Amino acid sequence: MEKVVFTNGCFDLIHPGHIDLLTKARALGTKLVVGINSDRSVRSIKGEGRPIQDENARKAVLSSMRQVDEVVVFDELTPERIIRELRPDVLVKGGDWRVDEIIGADLVKSYGGEVLSIPLTPGFSTTGLVESMGERGSRPVDPEGKADSSLREHLETITAVQESCGEQIRQGAELLERTLSSGNKILLCGNGGSAADAQHIAAEFVGRYENERRALPAIALTTDTSALTALANDYDFERIFARQVEALAKDGDCLIAISTSGTSRNVLAAVMKAREKGCKILGMTGGSGKKLAGLSDVCLVVPSSRTARVQEAHITVAHIWCEMVEENLAAR
């Protein structure tokens, strides 16, 4: 009896960690199907400059491996559609993904399938390989004063967003417009400094900054643990934030999930609960935020690793979204 195992990823530069994951995944069944992100999808998750190899080359490499029986390319940020169509017996991801963060886990479990997170081989990652090759070089010593240096860096980041994120900005505005025009609302969440960003953006949607207009329905969730953690280290903040989504979200709403690192467990818990409730996910993250991007329907990936620069870009783009949405809704 055939037992189908499915895993997915970008699989850009194959390294020993990939081989170990695929070998262990194949051993769990009789057929291993690997889903790979299309080139467009990889750029949306990892930013410009990736993938190193195009989707045809990546598919060819994987198809030649003895562990792999079939390779499918998907253009969305998540493999949800492929999983629904394939209905694998076993769903597998690498150990940097917890089971409750894996797209399709609830579906596979619903018909009796298994969902596993396989420990990663330490010391191997495509991002690490790219960085070691100097693709991202370290920031040079800057002889300018701090103010001039920071402003220059800000302008460079905004210029990079303009050059590489136009499609993400357009898709984000369209998602927000569809949400609001259908009578649904926008939820926002962020952790740490991004919690303030969530509140700022919600205020922009609800407030009347430049034009007198009706308030747009937007709610910022309370997801800032910075002031609370020292007092209550035993609090299960992930569950608290997921409960907020459980209480407020409904099918058709949109959650704007903000995490500069893309790995905030509190934000990811909110994302998974929102997906369960039928919400669309609009992610906002930085250059290394592939996990959040991989859980989003649309994701703004700011091509920077500096938290301050990423947050500045998030606020800038959010203002642009407000302008685009307000203009389009007014024209209806």
Handedness of CA 222, 227, 231, 236 (dihedral sign): positive
* Residue 254: closest CA among 317, 209, 314, 205: 205
Domain membership flag for residue 300: yes
Q: What is the CATH number of the domain that holds 11?
A: 3.40.50.620
Task: State whether 309 and 213 are in the same domain.
Answer: yes
Domain membership flag for residue 205: yes
What DSSP state is assigned to residue 152?
H
Cα–chain center distance at 71? 23
Task: State whether 88 and 163 are in the same domain.
Answer: no
Task: State whether 65 and 213 are in the same domain.
Answer: no
Backbone φ and ψ for 142, nearest 5 degrees, come out as -110, 120
Domain membership flag for residue 41: yes
Residue 162, both tokens? 């303009």
Burial of 187 (C-beta count, 10 Å sphere; 0-12/13-18/19+): buried
Q: Do residues 77 and 294 make contact, with C-beta atoms less than 8 angstroms apart?
A: yes
Q: Say how far apart CA 306 and CA 141 lie, in whole Å.
A: 15
Q: Domain range for residue 264?
A: 155-330
Instruction: State residue 232's pLDDT score.
Output: 45
Beta bridge partners of 94: 118
Instruction: State residue 31's pLDDT score.
Output: 97
Helix (H/G/I), strand (E/B), else coil: 149? helix
Q: What is the CATH number of the domain that holds 248?
A: 3.40.50.10490
Domain end position, chosen among 72, 97, 130 = 130
| Packed helices 146-164 and 307-330: angle between N→C axes, nearest 10 degrees | 50
* Residue 282: closest CA among 239, 244, 243, 325: 325
Task: State whether 159 and 120 are in the same domain.
Answer: no
Domain membership flag for residue 150: no
Which stretches of the chain drop beneath a pLDDT of 70?
122-144, 208-213, 222-237, 332
* 49 contact partners, CB below 8 Å, separation of at least 6: 135
Task: State whether 200 and 109 are in the same domain.
Answer: no
Element (H, E) at 188: strand 186-190
Instruction: State residue 236's pLDDT score.
Output: 61
Task: State whether 195 and 74 are in the same domain.
Answer: no
Domain membership flag for residue 88: yes
Task: State whether 265 and 164 are in the same domain.
Answer: yes
Task: State whether 13 and 121 are in the same domain.
Answer: yes
Domain membership flag for residue 125: yes
Instruction: State residue 213's pLDDT score.
Output: 63
Instruction: State residue 229's pLDDT score.
Output: 43
Task: State whether 97 and 206 are in the same domain.
Answer: no
Task: State whether 36 and 83 are in the same domain.
Answer: yes
Instruction: State residue 148's pLDDT score.
Output: 82
Q: How many domains is the chain partitioned into structurally?
A: 2
The DSSP annotation for 234-282 comes to: T--HHHHHHHHHHHH--TT-EEEEE-SSS--HHHHHHHHHHHHTT-EEE
Instruction: State residue 135's pLDDT score.
Output: 47
